[in-house]
Structures are given as structure tokens and as C-alpha cells.
Structure 1
Amino acid sequence: RAAAFSFGVLEELDRVRSSAAGTKTLLDRVDFVSGVSGGSVTAAYFGLKRRAALADFRERFLLRNAEEGLKTRISLGNIGRALGGGVNDSQFTDWLDQNLFDGARFEALPDDRRPRVWINASDIYNRTPFVFGKTSFDALCSDIRSYRVAEAVAASAAVPLAFAPIVLQTYPGGCAAPLPPWYDRVRNDPNAQPLLRSYAE
């Protein structure tokens, strides 16, 4: 539902013109898109294809059965998988990668390209929001450019028990760039915001 609703918003933005937009529609003036859960599917696809997303998103995703490879039946096996972390692991990620995002990685969504895209998920360990972006991955001493867009979207859309959590690896000591000035300040501040503390730790 969230993917369909957000796609409808994009279509309506493409129907609205204003004097400030000139001959362009409001869709052409979108500079930033943030998505979570099902809305992250639309956000990521629009970020990758921009206006061209309007032409085929309905057929490639909304009218397809993205759950065709998922385990959805109630059974003792699935109950055991749910209690062990999640019923489904990489099936949804692989489906998105193969059928919608065509193997795209975050290098196709650079920060200096418009629209800028944020894919939001939940850090269930620290109980904070997590944004798939350069700042978050810099804190992990990792490079988001090589990370699959489908994995970020699947993490955003994952429902606990139905999906196994996606685990990100940190590379302490492997940061190519110096840590930002706020890093030590946050680590030593017991009153730091939980989101910043989760990045620093």
C-alpha cells in the first residue's frame, strides 16, 4: 500500500505545474526523497530512474507478486524460523535486485545527484532509526557505494519475525578518512542523542 500511495503522489506531482516551475512539473523540482517500509521501494526506484520511473514502476512492481518466493504459510517449520530470527532471509532482497533494481548499487545514487534519496530502516540493536547513506556507512568504516540498493530497501521493508534482520559489518581500524570531530565528543557524552551515539559506537 505504501509503495502504491507514494507512486500516486509522484504521478500527481507530475500533473501539477506552477509559474515557478515554468514548463516543468513539480516532479521535476523534487530535490530530496525519503522513504521507509514499502515507500522505500518507490523512493529508491524514483531516485535511480527519476522521471522514467513513472513509465514502468506499476508494471514492474505494483502489479507483480513480490511475495511469490516468500514463506508465508503457518507451519511448525516457519514458526521455528521466526523464533530463530526470521522466516525469510534473502528471498525478498534477491527478488527486488533481479526484478526491479537490476543489480543497482548506491554508487548510482550519489549525494550530489538530484533527487537525493534516503532509505530509512530501524537499528533494532540500538533501537534507533538508521539511514542508508554516506554518514552511516562512514561510521561503519564502510563504503556505501558498493552496497546493493535492494538490500537497503529490503531492510527498510522488513517486518520482524517475517524477515530475518539484515546485518551490517563494521570495519574498526579500517577507516580511510579521519573520523569526524563529533565522534569522540559523542562517545564521551552520556547525554548524547541515541542516534548519534549509535553511529559513534
Structure 2
Amino acid sequence: MNYSISRKESHSFTLVALFAALMAVMGLIPKIDLPFGVPITLQSLATMLAGCLLGARRGFQSIALFLLAVAVGLPLLAGGRGGIGVFMAPSAGYLLGYPVAALVTGLVMRWLPHATPRQTGVSAFVAAVVGGVFVLHMMGIAGLVLVAHMDVMKAVWVDLAFVPGDLVKCGLCGLIVHTVSKAMPDWRFGGH
């Protein structure tokens, strides 16, 4: 049997692992704890970048790989958290939403224009808002309702605390993607 891996597959595996590592590195930046059990972290920025730069499939895979490492006990979440217990906390909806957010961000990025670096940066901002804010926050609200037993309106109000910071992260995502587009014009944004 021949188990050789093509250069393209090897490149794909490398990017998935690299973005899982980027997610872990973002967890080294101290979190800001809020009273309702969901911290503010930079890890949602890595999710947005994974979708924009890797595309839907590889973005999803990279964040899922990261969450697998967290589930087996590696303390990779902001604040040095890890283990299966983090998926039973109020932030569980956001954690489970990370790979879905990367997937949706990648899908949106794939269909938006990226003929120029400026257009690519704006597209990344829009994709990050759709996947990294709208989708991620909907899953986070669901987690607050199901795990923290909040009523829906209270969960929505609690979630609104994250929106301004996440919109800033969307702007950073757009700037980073714009820079990558200028430096590497052949990059396949959104897996395109």
C-alpha cells in the first residue's frame, strides 16, 4: 500500500496545524473575566482569520483540531483552561461556535470580491462580521440559555457586552487580510 501524501495535502495539513497553533497563541493573551462566566479573549480573532485565510473547510478543521486538544486537557484556552469541563461552562456555546464561525466566515469570504487588497480587506471585515459576530454570538446565546439557564432576553443582553470588542476584532481581521493580500497576491482567500 502506498501511503504517500501529496504536496498539496501536506500544505493543507500544515496550514490547519498552524492556525490551530495560532488559536492557542491567542489564548496566551490574558482574558478579561466578566461576571456571567464568559471571558473576553482574542481567540475569536483567530477564528475569523482562519475562515478568511484558510477557507471554510480548512478553517473549520483548524479550530476543531484546537478544540480537540482543549477537550483532551491541554490548557490552551485563555487563562490556561482546558479539559472536557470547559464545554459544560456558560462559555460552551461560544467554544462550540468557534469552528462553525470559521466555516461560515470562510464561506462568506469565498463569495465576496477580492480583486484588490482593499476589496479583500473589506470582504474580510464583512465575512468576519457574519461568521465571527453574528453566527458565533447566536451560538453563544444558545449556550447561555442551555448551560447557564438564562432566559433568552437576558442572554441577548449579556451577549451584547461582546459586540463592540468583536467588531474591533473584525476590523483587525480586515487589516491583517488586507496586508496579506498586498504581500501575497496569489493567496487563495476563503479557500477560493
- State whether TM-score is above 0.5: no
**Structure 1 length as normaliser, TM-score?**
0.31
By percentage of residues, which structure has more helix? 2
- The structure that has the greater radius of gyration is 1
Q: Which has the higher contact order (CA 8 A, sep 6+)?
A: 2
By percentage of residues, which structure has more strand? 1
**Structure 2 length as normaliser, TM-score?**
0.32
